[in-house]
Amino acid sequence: MSGNVYRVIEVVGSSTSGTDDAIRNAIARASETVNHLDWFEVTETRGHIEDGQIAHFQVRLKIGFKIEE
C-alpha cells in the first residue's frame, strides 16, 4: 500500500523584518528537533506594535512531517 501519513505540529515564528522571515525562523527552529518536514500552512498573521510602529511580525504555522515507515 502506498501513500504518506503525516503528523502536524503548530508553531509561531516571529521576526522584526517581515512575515517571510518569521516563517523561515519557525521552520528553521522546528527542523532542529523534528525530522522529515514536508509542508507548511500559514494559519494566522499578526504583529506587535510599539510607539505606532510594527515591532514584530508573528506568523502561526501548521507544519506537516512524514511519519517514518
C-alpha cell recorded at residue 2 = 502506498
Give the pTM: 0.86
Is residue 42 helix, strand or coil? strand
Domains of the chain from N-terminus onward: 7-64 (3.30.1660.10)
CA distances (Å), 59 to each of 10, 23, 25, 42, 48, in order? 11, 6, 10, 7, 11
Per-residue pLDDT tens, the chain, 69 aa: give them: 467 889 999 999 999 999 999 999 999 999 999 999 999 999 999 999 999 999 999 999 999 999 876
Beta-strand pair 6-15/37-50? unpaired
The rounded distance, in Å, linking the Cα atoms of 19 and 2 is 36
